[in-house]
Amino acid sequence: MALRVGAQAPDFSLPDANKTPVTLSSFRGKQAVLLVFYPFAFSGTCTVELCQLRDDLSAFQNERVQVLAISTDTSQSLKAWADIQGYTFPLLSDFWPHGAVAQTYEVFFDKAGMALRGTFLVDVDGVIAFSEANGPGEARDQSTWKRAVAALPVAAG
Q: How far apart are CA 123 and CA 149, in angstroms?
A: 9
Residue 13: count other Cβ atoms within 10 Å of its Cβ. Answer: 12
d(CA 123, CA 7): 11
Q: Nearest to residue 45, comparing CAs of 108, 137, 142, 135? A: 137
In the set 24, 33, 34, 46, the catalytic residue is 46
C-alpha distances (whole Å) from 116 to each of 31, 35, 56, 133, 151 are 25, 12, 22, 7, 25
Q: What does the alpha-carbon distance between residue 146 and residue 21 come to, in Å, rounded to a whole number? A: 27
Respond yes or no: is residue 51 known to be catalytic.
no
Residue 108: CB atoms within 10 Å: 21
Instruction: Yes or no: say if 157 and 33 are a contact pair by the CB < 8 Å rule.
Output: no
Q: Catalytic residue positions?
A: 46
